[in-house]
Copies of this chain bind each other. A is one copy, B any other.
Amino acid sequence: MEENEVDLGKGDHRKPEYKAINPMGLVPAIDDDGFYLFESHAILRYLSSAYPGIADHWYPADVKKRAQIECILDWHHTNLRRGSAGLIVNRVIGPALGRPLDEKAAAECEALLKASVKKIDALWLNESGPFLTGSPEPSIADLSLACELMQVEFLGEEFKSELVNPHPKVKHWLAAVEKALAPHFEDVHQKLKARAVMFQKRKEHGDSHPSSKVAAQSDL
């Protein structure tokens, strides 16, 4: 499968050729030889099932093991994802695009994000193994949740430390996911980290002229 970058800043996601693949105009989406699919979790499930040779631990065939992965993936949408994405939109992207700050919404998202990290620590990490549900190997749920937490870099290194450090199990889990996926994990997050630093500097200098607004839109 070939990787195609969708440049949100240039409005690639609103172009007819992209909307033919994902009519929602959101990323990610795949075109698997004419089969179009969107929604990141649906894509992860499909890629784990449609191709031979994918190790079982990514998306276990055992119905009970799989059900636990499904539970985490579903929970993610309305908890960790909602908290993290909502906070980044309210605290970073929104202000960079010149939108008024909705402090109540931002505070709700921050509380949800913190509660979600606490739940991951309390419910899905244990001594049986370093990955979610105590598995010795990662699953697609580890991919989704770890990548979501990586996006918190947009809120600054200090915020991320404050969020993760009170939960040593979460810290070890993130390190285990990074190690299991080396060097790809570091590779795909390098650009994000650079953008996060840029946003932080911009925030510190109060820079919000039109050109930085366009750049902000293209980065997520």
Contacts and interface: CB of A to CB of B under 8 A. Distances in A.
Interface of A: 23-24, 35, 37-42, 45-46, 49-50, 63-64, 66-68, 70-71, 73-75, 77-78, 81-82, 102, 104-105, 119, 122-123
A70 B45 contact: yes
Contact of A70 (B42, B78, B119): B42
Contacts of A123: 23
A35 B23 contact: no
17 contacts: A23-B122, A24-B119, A35-B64, A38-B71, A39-B70, A42-B67, A42-B70, A42-B73, A42-B74, A45-B70, A46-B64, A46-B66, A46-B67, A46-B70, A50-B64, A78-B78, A105-B105
Contacts of A75: 24, 39
Nearest to A81: B78
Nearest to A45: B70
Nearest to A35: B64
Contacts of A37: 67-68, 71
Nearest to A61: B49
A214 B38 CA distance: 42
